[in-house]
C-alpha cells in the first residue's frame, strides 16, 4: 500500500456521516460480523478519504468577519472560536452565525 503524504486527523468523525459510520461499525462488531481491528482500519480510511475529497473537490470560496473570542495552539493544531460572524459567499449570498469554531491542522507531513 502506498504511503500517504497527507496527515489524517479525526476531525470529521463528529459529522453526521462520521457518526453514522461509527454507529454502523459498532452494530457490525456487536453482531460479530466484523472484528474491532477492521472497524479501526475503516475509520482510519474514512479519516484519510474525507480529507482528500474535501481538498480535491471543494472549490468554493467565502470571506467572513467576526469577533475573535478565544484561540489556542496545541499539538500543532490551531483552534479559534469566533462570535457574531458575517459570511459572504463568492456568489454574493450572505448569512450570519452567533458562534463558530475553526480547527486548523497541518495539511502535509513535515519533511524529515
Distances from the Cα of 64 to the Cαs of 6, 8, 77, 97, 98, in angstroms? 27, 26, 21, 10, 13
What is the pLDDT, as a whole number, of residue 108?
64
Q: Which domains does the chain have, with CATH numbers?
A: 11-57 (1.10.287.190), 62-105 (2.30.18.10)
Give the span between the Cα atoms of 91 and 78, in whole angstroms: 28
C-alpha to C-alpha distance for 48 and 64, rounded to whole angstroms:
28
Q: What is the mean pLDDT of residues 72-89?
A: 94
- pLDDT mean over 68-97: 94
Range 22-50 average pLDDT = 96
Q: What is the DSSP letter of 108?
A: B
- Whether the per-residue pLDDT at 49 is higher than 70: the answer is yes
Which stretch of 6-20, 22-36, 60-74 has the lowest confidence by average pLDDT?
Answer: 6-20
Amino acid at each position: 500500500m502506498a504511503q500517504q503524504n497527507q496527515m489524517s486527523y479525526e476531525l470529521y468523525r463528529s459529522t453526521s456521516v462520521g457518526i453514522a459510520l461509527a454507529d454502523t461499525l459498532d452494530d457490525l462488531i456487536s453482531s460479530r460480523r466484523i472484528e474491532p481491528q477492521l472497524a479501526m482500519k475503516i475509520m482510519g480510511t474514512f479519516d484519510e478519504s474525507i480529507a482528500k475529497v474535501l481538498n480535491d473537490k471543494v472549490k468554493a470560496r467565502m470571506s467572513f468577519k467576526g469577533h475573535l473570542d478565544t484561540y489556542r495552539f496545541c499539538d500543532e493544531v490551531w483552534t479559534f472560536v469566533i462570535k457574531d460572524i458575517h459570511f459572504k459567499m463568492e456568489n454574493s449570498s450572505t448569512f450570519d452565525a452567533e458562534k463558530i469554531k475553526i480547527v486548523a491542522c497541518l495539511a502535509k507531513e513535515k519533511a524529515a
